[in-house]
C-alpha cells in the first residue's frame, strides 16, 4: 500500500452565519492557486449551499452515494479545469433525512470517498454548523479541524460548546481556529485569545491559532454574483488573508508528510454513539 499524501480538513463552526462555507470555498481556491490539487466536498447534508456559491446546478449529489449506490467519481464536478485539479462533490439541500446520519452510513460514505480523495493533495469537507451527529462524526474523520468563529460572543460560546462535545465524545482535542469578519489582525488575535483561555481553563487544552480574515465588502458582492471572491477580487483584504491561511495549511501538510503522520484521507473511528 502506498503512503497517503492527502491532508483532509474539516471546516466546522458552532453556529451558522459565520461565513464558513464561503471561507472553505475560497481557501480551496487559494490552495489550488499555490499549486495543490484539491477536492472540496459539501458535507452539509441538510442545508448544502456550495452549488449556490458557485452558481451551478449539479445533477448528482453526495447523497446519491447512499441512496442510489452511485459511484463517487460520477458525482465530481470540476471547479477549475487545469493541470492541478480543483474539484467539487456537491450535496443536495433540504434533505432532512440526512441531517443525522448514523455511524454506519458515515463509515460507508468514508470508504467510498477514500480511494477518490487519495488522488488529491488536500480534501476539504465543508460540514454543517452545530452539533448534529453527522457534523460531529464527519469532523473527527479528517486530519485537521478548522473552526470558523467570529468576534461575536454567541459565535465564541457556540464554538467552545462544539469543541467540548467533540472532545468529550471522541477524545479529539486538536483544533485550528480561524477568526472571520474581523476589523483588524488585533481583533482576530484577541478573539482567539478569549476562546483559547476558556478552552484551556475548562477543557484542559488550547486550540491553535490559524489566522484571521478581515471584513470585506467584496465578499458580499461575490456571493451575490455567485462567484468566489478570490476570482472576482484577488487582491482584496479577505482574499489576501485566505491566501495566507492556505500557505499555512500547505506548510502543515509538508510537516505532516515529513513526520509520516498521515493516515488514509478519511479515518474511521470506532466510537459508540
Render pLDDT for 92-140 as a digit per residue (tens, 0 to 9): 876 666 667 777 888 888 889 999 999 999 999 999 999 988 899 999 9
Cβ proximity of 19 and 180 under 8 Å: yes
pTM given for the model = 0.94
23 pLDDT more than 90 = yes
**Domain edges within the chain:** 7-147+217-255
- Ranking 33-37, 70-74, 158-162, 242-246 by mean pLDDT, the lowest is 70-74
pLDDT, one tens digit per residue, over 37-87 is 999 999 887 777 899 999 998 888 888 888 888 888 999 999 987 667 999
What are the backbone angles phi and psi of residue 112, rounded to the nearest 5°? Answer: -80, -30
The CATH architecture to which 7-147+217-255 belongs is 3-Layer(aba) Sandwich (3.40)
- pLDDT category, 272, cuts 50, 70, 90? very low
CA proximity to 115, closest of 4, 256, 220: 4
- pLDDT for the residue 47: 77
User: How confident is the model over 26-30, as a mean pLDDT?
Assistant: 97
Alpha helices by DSSP H, listed for 203-262, are 217-224, 229-232, 237-259
Amino acid at each position: 500500500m502506498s503512503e497517503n499524501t492527502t491532508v483532509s480538513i474539516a471546516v466546522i463552526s458552532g453556529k451558522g452565519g459565520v461565513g464558513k462555507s464561503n471561507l472553505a470555498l475560497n481557501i480551496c481556491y487559494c490552495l489550488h492557486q499555490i499549486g495543490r490539487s484539491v477536492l472540496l466536498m459539501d458535507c452539509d447534508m441538510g442545508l448544502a449551499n456550495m452549488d449556490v456559491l458557485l452558481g451551478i446546478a449539479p445533477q448528482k449529489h453526495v447523497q446519491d452515494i447512499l441512496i442510489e449506490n452511485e459511484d463517487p467519481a460520477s458525482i465530481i464536478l470540476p471547479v477549475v479545469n487545469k493541470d492541478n485539479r480543483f474539484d467539487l462533490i456537491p450535496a443536495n439541500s433540504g434533505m432532512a433525512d440526512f441531517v443525522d446520519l448514523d455511524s454506519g452510513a458515515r463509515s460507508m460514505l468514508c470508504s467510498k470517498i477514500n480511494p477518490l480523495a487519495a488522488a488529491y493533495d488536500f480534501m476539504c469537507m465543508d460540514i454543517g454548523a452545530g452539533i448534529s451527529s453527522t457534523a460531529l462524526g464527519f469532523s473527527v474523520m479528517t486530519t485537521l479541524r478548522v473552526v470558523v468563529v467570529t468576534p461575536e460572543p454567541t459565535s465564541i460560546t457556540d464554538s467552545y460548546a462544539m469543541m467540548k462535545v467533540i472532545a468529550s465524545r471522541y477524545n479529539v482535542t486538536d483544533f485550528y481556529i480561524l477568526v472571520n469578519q474581523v476589523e483588524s489582525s488585533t481583533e482576530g488575535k484577541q478573539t482567539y485569545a478569549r476562546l483559547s483561555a476558556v478552552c484551556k481553563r475548562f477543557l484542559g487544552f488550547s486550540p491553535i491559532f490559524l489566522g484571521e480574515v478581515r471584513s470585506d465588502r467584496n465578499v458580499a458582492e461575490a456571493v451575490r454574483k455567485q462567484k468566489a471572491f478570490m476570482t472576482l477580487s484577488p487582491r482584496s483584504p479577505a482574499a489576501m488573508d485566505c491566501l495566507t491561511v492556505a500557505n499555512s495549511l500547505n506548510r502543515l501538510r509538508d510537516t505532516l508528510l515529513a513526520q509520516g503522520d498521515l493516515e488514509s484521507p478519511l479515518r474511521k473511528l470506532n466510537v459508540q454513539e
